[in-house]
Structure 1
Amino acid sequence: MEGPSLRGPALGLAGLPTQQDCSIQEKIDLEIRMREGIWKLLSLSTQKDQVLHAVKNLMVCNARIMAYTSELQKLEEQIANQTGR
Protein backbone atom coordinates (compact mmCIF):
# COMPACT_ATOMS: atom_id res chain seq x y z
CA MET A 1 0.00 0.00 0.00
CA GLU A 2 1.23 3.49 -0.77
CA GLY A 3 2.10 5.99 1.93
CA PRO A 4 -0.06 9.03 2.62
CA SER A 5 -0.28 11.58 -0.15
CA LEU A 6 -0.14 15.34 0.29
CA ARG A 7 -2.66 15.80 -2.53
CA GLY A 8 -5.48 13.73 -1.05
CA PRO A 9 -6.42 10.06 -0.99
CA ALA A 10 -4.49 7.57 -3.11
CA LEU A 11 -6.22 6.76 -6.37
CA GLY A 12 -6.72 3.28 -7.79
CA LEU A 13 -6.52 2.10 -11.39
CA ALA A 14 -9.85 3.62 -12.41
CA GLY A 15 -9.04 6.92 -10.69
CA LEU A 16 -11.20 5.96 -7.71
CA PRO A 17 -10.12 6.21 -4.11
CA THR A 18 -8.35 2.90 -3.55
CA GLN A 19 -10.24 1.80 -0.43
CA GLN A 20 -13.72 2.46 -1.88
CA ASP A 21 -12.81 0.92 -5.23
CA CYS A 22 -11.53 -2.26 -3.60
CA SER A 23 -14.49 -2.53 -1.27
CA ILE A 24 -17.08 -2.26 -4.04
CA GLN A 25 -15.08 -4.48 -6.39
CA GLU A 26 -14.74 -7.10 -3.64
CA LYS A 27 -18.51 -7.05 -3.15
CA ILE A 28 -19.05 -7.50 -6.89
CA ASP A 29 -16.55 -10.38 -6.99
CA LEU A 30 -18.26 -12.07 -4.04
CA GLU A 31 -21.69 -11.78 -5.66
CA ILE A 32 -20.33 -13.21 -8.92
CA ARG A 33 -18.93 -16.22 -7.04
CA MET A 34 -22.26 -16.61 -5.25
CA ARG A 35 -24.10 -16.45 -8.58
CA GLU A 36 -21.87 -19.17 -10.04
CA GLY A 37 -22.56 -21.41 -7.04
CA ILE A 38 -26.28 -20.80 -7.28
CA TRP A 39 -26.20 -21.71 -10.99
CA LYS A 40 -24.54 -25.03 -10.10
CA LEU A 41 -27.10 -25.66 -7.37
CA LEU A 42 -29.92 -24.78 -9.75
CA SER A 43 -28.67 -27.21 -12.38
CA LEU A 44 -28.69 -30.02 -9.79
CA SER A 45 -32.02 -29.14 -8.18
CA THR A 46 -34.75 -31.74 -8.57
CA GLN A 47 -37.48 -30.46 -6.27
CA LYS A 48 -39.72 -27.51 -6.98
CA ASP A 49 -38.94 -25.65 -3.74
CA GLN A 50 -35.19 -26.06 -4.34
CA VAL A 51 -35.60 -24.50 -7.78
CA LEU A 52 -37.71 -21.65 -6.40
CA HIS A 53 -35.18 -20.82 -3.67
CA ALA A 54 -32.27 -21.00 -6.11
CA VAL A 55 -34.02 -18.74 -8.62
CA LYS A 56 -34.91 -16.24 -5.89
CA ASN A 57 -31.30 -16.19 -4.67
CA LEU A 58 -30.07 -15.82 -8.23
CA MET A 59 -32.33 -12.81 -8.77
CA VAL A 60 -31.10 -11.22 -5.52
CA CYS A 61 -27.46 -11.75 -6.57
CA ASN A 62 -28.11 -10.20 -9.97
CA ALA A 63 -29.83 -7.20 -8.37
CA ARG A 64 -26.90 -6.70 -6.00
CA ILE A 65 -24.39 -6.92 -8.85
CA MET A 66 -26.33 -4.29 -10.80
CA ALA A 67 -26.55 -2.03 -7.72
CA TYR A 68 -22.82 -2.34 -6.94
CA THR A 69 -21.94 -1.73 -10.59
CA SER A 70 -24.11 1.38 -10.61
CA GLU A 71 -22.47 2.58 -7.38
CA LEU A 72 -19.02 2.05 -8.91
CA GLN A 73 -20.02 4.02 -12.02
CA LYS A 74 -21.31 6.89 -9.88
CA LEU A 75 -18.01 7.01 -8.01
CA GLU A 76 -16.13 7.07 -11.32
CA GLU A 77 -18.30 9.98 -12.52
CA GLN A 78 -17.69 11.88 -9.27
CA ILE A 79 -13.94 11.44 -9.60
CA ALA A 80 -14.05 12.45 -13.27
CA ASN A 81 -16.01 15.61 -12.39
CA GLN A 82 -13.61 16.47 -9.56
CA THR A 83 -10.54 16.09 -11.75
CA GLY A 84 -12.15 17.95 -14.66
CA ARG A 85 -11.82 15.24 -17.29
Structure 2
Amino acid sequence: MSGHAKILNEWGEDVTPHFLIGAFKVLDIALREGTRYAVFKDKSPSCGVYRIYDGSFTGKICEGRGVTTAILRKYSISLFSNEQIR
Protein backbone atom coordinates (compact mmCIF):
# COMPACT_ATOMS: atom_id res chain seq x y z
CA MET A 1 0.00 0.00 0.00
CA SER A 2 1.46 3.36 -0.93
CA GLY A 3 1.69 6.15 1.60
CA HIS A 4 -1.21 8.01 0.01
CA ALA A 5 -3.62 5.17 -0.80
CA LYS A 6 -7.04 5.16 0.80
CA ILE A 7 -9.56 2.40 1.23
CA LEU A 8 -13.10 3.52 0.50
CA ASN A 9 -16.26 1.55 1.18
CA GLU A 10 -19.05 1.26 -1.37
CA TRP A 11 -20.50 4.62 -0.21
CA GLY A 12 -17.19 6.42 -0.71
CA GLU A 13 -16.38 6.70 2.99
CA ASP A 14 -12.70 6.47 3.94
CA VAL A 15 -12.29 3.32 6.06
CA THR A 16 -8.49 3.31 5.93
CA PRO A 17 -8.09 3.96 9.71
CA HIS A 18 -10.04 0.77 10.49
CA PHE A 19 -7.81 -1.27 8.18
CA LEU A 20 -4.68 0.24 9.72
CA ILE A 21 -5.84 -0.57 13.25
CA GLY A 22 -6.43 -4.18 12.23
CA ALA A 23 -3.10 -4.39 10.41
CA PHE A 24 -1.13 -3.12 13.39
CA LYS A 25 -2.95 -5.56 15.69
CA VAL A 26 -1.89 -8.39 13.38
CA LEU A 27 1.68 -7.05 13.35
CA ASP A 28 1.72 -6.93 17.16
CA ILE A 29 0.60 -10.56 17.37
CA ALA A 30 3.06 -11.67 14.68
CA LEU A 31 6.01 -9.99 16.38
CA ARG A 32 5.02 -11.27 19.81
CA GLU A 33 4.73 -14.83 18.47
CA GLY A 34 7.92 -14.67 16.40
CA THR A 35 6.07 -15.26 13.14
CA ARG A 36 8.38 -15.71 10.15
CA TYR A 37 5.85 -16.93 7.55
CA ALA A 38 2.15 -16.34 6.98
CA VAL A 39 -0.55 -17.30 4.48
CA PHE A 40 -3.13 -14.68 3.51
CA LYS A 41 -6.19 -14.48 1.26
CA ASP A 42 -5.16 -12.85 -1.99
CA LYS A 43 -7.33 -10.10 -3.53
CA SER A 44 -8.36 -8.70 -0.13
CA PRO A 45 -7.76 -4.98 0.54
CA SER A 46 -6.26 -6.06 3.84
CA CYS A 47 -4.60 -9.38 3.08
CA GLY A 48 -3.83 -9.33 -0.64
CA VAL A 49 -0.32 -10.67 -1.12
CA TYR A 50 0.03 -10.04 -4.88
CA ARG A 51 -3.38 -8.83 -6.04
CA ILE A 52 -6.20 -6.71 -4.65
CA TYR A 53 -9.59 -5.56 -5.85
CA ASP A 54 -9.23 -2.19 -7.58
CA GLY A 55 -11.81 -0.46 -5.36
CA SER A 56 -14.43 0.04 -8.06
CA PHE A 57 -16.73 -2.63 -6.58
CA THR A 58 -16.95 -4.25 -10.02
CA GLY A 59 -14.81 -7.29 -9.15
CA LYS A 60 -11.82 -5.99 -11.12
CA ILE A 61 -8.45 -7.18 -9.80
CA CYS A 62 -5.13 -5.34 -10.05
CA GLU A 63 -1.59 -5.95 -8.85
CA GLY A 64 -0.97 -4.68 -5.36
CA ARG A 65 -0.69 -5.48 -1.68
CA GLY A 66 -3.22 -5.22 1.07
CA VAL A 67 -2.71 -3.00 4.09
CA THR A 68 -1.77 -5.81 6.47
CA THR A 69 0.54 -7.59 4.07
CA ALA A 70 2.33 -4.34 3.18
CA ILE A 71 3.04 -3.69 6.86
CA LEU A 72 4.15 -7.27 7.60
CA ARG A 73 6.55 -7.23 4.63
CA LYS A 74 8.28 -4.20 6.16
CA TYR A 75 9.05 -6.42 9.16
CA SER A 76 10.55 -9.18 6.98
CA ILE A 77 7.69 -11.64 7.46
CA SER A 78 7.52 -13.90 4.41
CA LEU A 79 4.02 -13.95 2.95
CA PHE A 80 2.26 -16.47 0.76
CA SER A 81 -1.06 -16.26 -1.02
CA ASN A 82 -3.69 -18.86 -0.24
CA GLU A 83 -3.59 -19.58 -3.98
CA GLN A 84 0.04 -20.74 -3.65
CA ILE A 85 -0.84 -23.40 -1.08
CA ARG A 86 -2.29 -26.70 -2.25
- Shorter chain as denominator, the TM-score bin is 0.3 to 0.5
Larger radius of gyration: 1
Q: TM-score, normalised by structure 2?
A: 0.33
Task: Looking at secondary structure, tell me which structure has more strand per residue.
Answer: 2
